[in-house]
Amino acid sequence: MTTNRRFSLDLLDRLKPGGNNTSDSDPDQPAPDVSSLEKFLSEIGPLPRQALFIGIASDGLPVLLNLHDPTPGPLLVIGERGAGKTGFLKCIARSLSLTHSEDDTQYGVITTRPDEWEQVQKTIHRVGIFDVTQVGAQELVQSLASWAHSNRNTTQSVLILLDDLEAMLKMDPDALQHFRWLLLRGPSRRVWSIVTLRAEGYAEVLPWLENFRTRVFGRVTDPQIASALGGDTKAALDQLEAGRQFCLRENSGWLKFRLPNF
């Protein structure tokens, strides 16, 4: 699996003094300081309005998603149980509220466990937390699809943080049709889906995997599952720190990064 993406790149050059990048995947580099999300973001200074923070690379630079460039497409966050998939979504929600105004970016959460999100600070950026089994989740998907259809000029971006692709696919057919359209066309209309998948359950969602060009991996210890989902021996997914460390494909290599405390 190859991933066409615009993580970091010119944004990282802008943020690092002198612009002299080191390898993000160098295993000999020390782990970055991940003590505090707020501290890290304050130290690097204001981010461009189109930049979404998703982690800290091994050289201490931020890993960013350009919300104004649809090339990466929706993100699939893959990992086994305990890999930190929900934490990844929570970190994005928290960093978004620290770096963007509600006029620039908002987000909604769809999950099987709404109670897990009670500890995440509620801000005006959040349109709601919806149980995937309830009608509110379907209404969110349908309303965002409708908004995206007519959204051609606005600079506002909306994120759907969807925790558990398997559960999502139990929605009614109309909602799933809207969801599929958002995966295919959403990023070009500023609606980004960031979706988690339990690695062990990938066989249940095979027809949907082709919709995700960009895959973010947490810990996966089964080499057969890792290979089936697009990982390889260079990624060393079984060696990622559970709950904290992730990686994604970068050209012929892998970019490893960590989540700060949030």
How confident is the model over 30-47, as pLDDT tens digits? 555 556 999 999 999 899
> Which phi and psi (to 5°) does residue 99 adopt?
-120, -10
- Asked whether the beta carbons of 139 and 119 are under 8 A apart, the reply is no
DSSP-assigned beta bridge partners for residue 159: 107, 192
Confidence at residue 153, expressed as pLDDT on a 0 to 100 scale: 66
Residues 79-83 have a mean pLDDT of 96
Lowest mean pLDDT, pick from 22-26, 213-217, 222-226: 22-26
Matching residue, tokens 């290979």 = 227
Q: Which CATH architecture has domain 10-258?
A: 3-Layer(aba) Sandwich (3.40)
- Residue 20 DSSP label: -
Confidence check: pLDDT of 208 > 70 = yes
Q: Is 213 exposed, middle or buried (0-12, 13-18, 19+ CB in 10 A)?
A: middle
Top-ranked range on mean pLDDT: pick from 36-50, 81-95, 111-125: 81-95
131/120 Cα distance (integer angstroms): 16
**pLDDT score of 226 more than 90:** yes
- Is the overall model pTM greater than 0.85, yes or no? yes
pLDDT digits (tens, 9 = 90+) for 118-170: 888 889 999 999 999 999 999 999 999 999 988 776 789 999 999 999 999 99
CA proximity to 72, closest of 212, 256, 255, 217: 212
Domain map (residue ranges) of the chain: 10-258
